[in-house]
Amino acid sequence: MARSVSTRRKLFFTVAAWSVALLIFFPVLWTILTSFKTEASAVASPPELLGADWTLQNYSDVWARSDYPRFFLNSVIISIGSTVLGLLIAIPAAWSMAFVPGNKTKDLLMWMLSTKMMPAAAVLIPMYLIFQKTGLFDTRTGLVLALMLMNLPVIIWMLYTYFKEIPGEILEAARMDGASLKNEVLYILTPMAIPGIASTMLLNIILAWNEAFWTITLTTINAAPLSAFIASFSAPQGLFYAKLSAASTMAIAPILIMGWFGQKQLVRGLTFGAVK
């Protein structure tokens, strides 16, 4: 009896989980499907699925009309650049907060997190003006800096949580064994925290890749990444849903594939320290 109840419960939760997952993924799925339809089929009411006209024309049109490789390259440089720069700053910061905390370390961490709660629009004008005056506007360097600053609290928090899981005695043992601070971080801390650093890196590349507010606001042509590429298809040429979907699919495909392969690492990273 108990067995049948547990099987039924299992079935219920499985169906529920799949439904929620499908609901979350549906907009992405619909965008991908729409990208293979003709413009007429894309706007048909009621929406067409099995009977739609399928085509690859949208992709060749989008490719022909825009410089996709340039946008792609900008996205790669900006997301990887901001993440690597962020890690270089965050690893020593998280190390000191985790292993040599001061009286105000907790407050500092909370303050850093609180900056993430501020709406981006609140600093739009000062940021815009600073970027214009300093010549950072529409440059990759500018966006690397902006996105790094934006995501730094998240990077530090994730690494801090990871480093806290590493017993302090192991680092003390390294110190006793004659390791300098550099060697302690290089040979002991970093290898032990590799899973954490990798998932932090992965998450931040995704966050930076998907960032649209600043990347669109602070660029025009030269440094524009894929978020601006999508935006460029929605405004000047009217709302061509199929082409817009093709552009969106081309923009999200690389990160979606990367996320798919890295999902195990990502889940482990995000839930680390949650139990125990």
Partner 1 sequence: MGKIVLKSVRKSFGDVHVIPSVDLTIENGEFVVFVGPSGCGKSTLLRLIAGLEDTTSGIIEIDGKDATALPPAKRGLAMVFQSYALYPHMTVRKNIMFPLKMAGMDLAAATKKADAAAKVLNLTSYMERKPGQLSGGQRQRVAIGRAIVREPAAFLFDEPLSNLDAALRGNMRLEITELHQTLKTTMIYVTHDQVEAMTMADKIVVLQAGNIEQVGSPLELYNHPANAFVAGFIGSPHMNLLTGSDAQAEGALTIGVRPEHLDISTTAGKWKGVVSVAELLGSDTFLHVNVEGHGTMTVRGGGDVNLRHGDTVYLTPQPDKMHRFGTDGKALA
Residues 6+ positions from 147 with CB-CB distance below 8 Å: 78, 79, 82, 208, 211, 214, 215
Say whether residue 173 binds partner 1 (CB under 8 A). yes
Q: By CB under 8 A, which span of 26-34, 142-150, 185-193, 200-208 interacts with partner 1?
A: 185-193
Nearer to partner 1 among residue 45 and residue 103 (C-beta): 103
Residues 6+ positions from 226 with CB-CB distance below 8 Å: 71, 72, 74, 75, 209, 250, 251
Say whether residue 91 binds partner 1 (CB under 8 A). no
Q: By CB under 8 A, which span of 122-130, 151-159, 181-189, 196-204 interacts with partner 1?
A: 181-189
The distance of closest approach from Cβ of residue 123 to partner 1 in the complex, given in angstroms and rounded to an integer, is 39
Interface pattern 127-166 for partner 1 (x via CB under 8 A): ----------------------------------------
Say whether residue 96 binds partner 1 (CB under 8 A). no
The distance of closest approach from Cβ of residue 172 to partner 1 in the complex, given in angstroms and rounded to an integer, is 5
Tell which one of 46, 119, 178, 236 touches partner 1 (CB under 8 A): 178
The residues of the shown chain that bind partner 1, judged by CB under 8 A, are 167, 169-170, 172-180, 183, 187-188, 191-192
